[in-house]
Chains A and B, each alone.
Chain A
Amino acid sequence: MRQGKVFDIELEGADPAQAEAVLKQAADKLLANTVIENYKVDVLG
């Protein structure tokens, strides 16, 4: 079994669509290693 990680990220002045795009880019580029990890972005508030 392997555990996952949750990142709480606050973005200023971004609309939800823009926030999701930025966070997906961050996940692909750094936060997740897609060779072994999956990720999901939830935009809150």
Chain B
Amino acid sequence: MNAAVLVFPGINRERDMARTLALVSGRAPAMVWHAEHELPAGTDLVVMPGGFSYGDYLRCGAIAARAPIMDAVRAFAAKGGMVLGVCNGFQILCEAGLLPGVLMRNENLRFICHDIFLRVERSDTPFTRGYNAGQVIRVPVAHGEGNYIADGETIARLEGEGRVIFRYSSPDGMIDPNWNHNGAINAIAGILNDKGNVLGMMPHPENHVEAAIGPTDGRGLFTGLVEALDKVA
């Protein structure tokens, strides 16, 4: 797996992401500055990490979505290249038009930073092959704007095409408003694009991969990606 982690000014989770990618794939990712115009040759996974790109000025992810490197990311995604956006990365993907919808202020208007539970809806995607459908994983969130919304037609299409990949749930996998901490419509925590090669999600799987630190539920996403990409290669 040859991953490239995009680095925008104000991003702060790129090292966590790089550490996890290196740990799981055995290969350190390329760190690609926002002002670049091309991805490194041979890149097979682009990762947009969490943080506060451009200080969240204007709207979360809005300015990063127009950074020079994003044209290369669009071209990469259009050719079927795998793209993962976490937290601010998810917001950037929505602003860039690579995923539909938008992440609004959390329903309770507070920044939320703690572990949550996610129900994995599908295991037949390159991003979730390390899990079983219906499995519940525990991963952290840290965001003020994670309240996913889109127009009714878009939501119906996402649901109808099975593109909702992660939902906020109770520890036993029940979808319940009490466990939908940011108020996202249909408890949506992560979605795929129409071709299935771009995933955006608010929670941080990269922070739960080492037993020395705590739960390792996030690891399956990365081991699955390594398997999927190495099989193609």
Contacts and interface: CB of A to CB of B under 8 A. Distances in A.
Nearest to B102: A35
B58 A31 contact: yes
B104 interface: yes
B66 A33 contact: no
Contacts of A33: 59, 62, 95, 102
Interface of A: 2, 29-31, 33, 35-36
Contacts of B149: 35-36
Interface residue tally of chain B, by bracket?
10 to 19
A30 B58 contact: yes
Chain B contact residues: helix, strand, loop or mixed? loop
Q: Which 7 A-B pairs have the closest CB atoms?
A: A35-B102, A36-B102, A33-B59, A33-B102, A30-B66, A35-B101, A30-B62
A30 B62 CA distance: 7
Chain A contact residues: helix, strand, loop or mixed? loop
Interface of B: 58-59, 62-63, 66, 94-95, 100-102, 104-105, 149-151
B150 A35 contact: yes
A35 B149 CA distance: 9
B151 A35 contact: yes
Given A29-B66, A30-B66, A36 B104 contact: yes
Contacts of B63: 30
Nearest to B65: A30
A39 to B, nearest CB: 13
Contacts of B59: 33
Contacts of A29: 66
Nearest to A37: B59
B191 to A, nearest CB: 14
Nearest to B149: A36
A2, A30, A35, A36: most-surrounded residue (chain B CB, <10 A): A35
Contacts of B101: 35
19 contacts: A2-B105, A29-B66, A30-B58, A30-B62, A30-B63, A30-B66, A31-B58, A33-B59, A33-B95, A33-B102, A35-B94, A35-B101, A35-B102, A35-B149, A35-B150, A35-B151, A36-B102, A36-B104, A36-B149
A30 B151 CA distance: 20
A16 B46 CA distance: 42
A2 B104 CA distance: 10
Contacts of A36: 102, 104, 149
Contacts of B66: 29-30
Given A30-B66, A36-B149, 17 more contacts: A2-B105, A29-B66, A30-B58, A30-B62, A30-B63, A31-B58, A33-B59, A33-B62, A33-B95, A33-B102, A35-B94, A35-B100, A35-B101, A35-B102, A35-B151, A36-B102, A36-B104
